[in-house]
Structure 1
């Protein structure tokens, strides 16, 4: 009898876990930031902040031009962004850079690198 009850409870827990999975922040889908929306001052300012933070760490003199494209991922208490940023290097040449950051308290630059 106890074995039957345990099996029944295990089956119920398994069904509930499949029907109502626990969602973590890493499982939230990325949402593309398209068209005119990426040109909004909020995203452009955030991209400029990412370049400024990168320059503070790398001392390479990049100059922000614009956020070219982006996507966002909602986390439980913040938003994670991935941007493709156009910036000028020290030689005045334009390059594309991938930036990943979290807009929260505090704001944090996760990564910044030359795009492939």
Structure 2
């Protein structure tokens, strides 16, 4: 019985160590440049981010395009850091940075920040 308890304890310790290592790696995975910003999905994410920002703040920005961006793998999902060109209600151009969390297999998108 003592051997079984020690084996169970060892498995719990190993599982905790593996889990904390995976979390550390996810938190420190570097952002990488998006190779092709013209991909429709990237432009759609930018448009979606502007709409979410407008809904949350009452602003009336108009999406123009995603002009830069990076992605980060946070298994089993991705973070996108997008540079978005938009037009303000008075017609002036502005550039914003949006952080978007996307989990494709659950069809989840979340706007984490918009500056």
Give TM-score scaled by structure 1 length.
0.74
| Aligned ranges 1:5-24 → 2 under 5 Å | 22-24=21-23
CA–CA separation in structure 2 for the residues paired with 1:79 and 1:28:
11
Detail structure 1 runs of 4+ shifted over 2 Å in the superposition: 21-24
- How many Å separate the matches in 1 of 2:59 and 2:33? 29
> Partners of 2:58 and 2:38 in 1: how far apart?
27
1:103 to 2:105 alignment: no
Tell me the number of residue pairs that the alignment of Structure 1 and Structure 2 aligns. 92
Which 5+ residue runs of structure 2 have no aligned equivalent?
Answer: 1-16
* Offset from partner CA, 1:36-95 (integer Å, 9 cap, x none): x11110100010000010000011100000000000000112100101100001101110
Larger Rg: 1
Structure 1 residue runs of 5 or longer lacking an equivalent are: 1-16
Kindly state the Cα deviation for residue 27 of structure 1 after the two structures are TM-superposed: 1.2
TM-score, length of structure 2 as denominator length: 0.75
Aligned-pair Cα RMSD in Å: 1.6
Partner of 2:30: 29
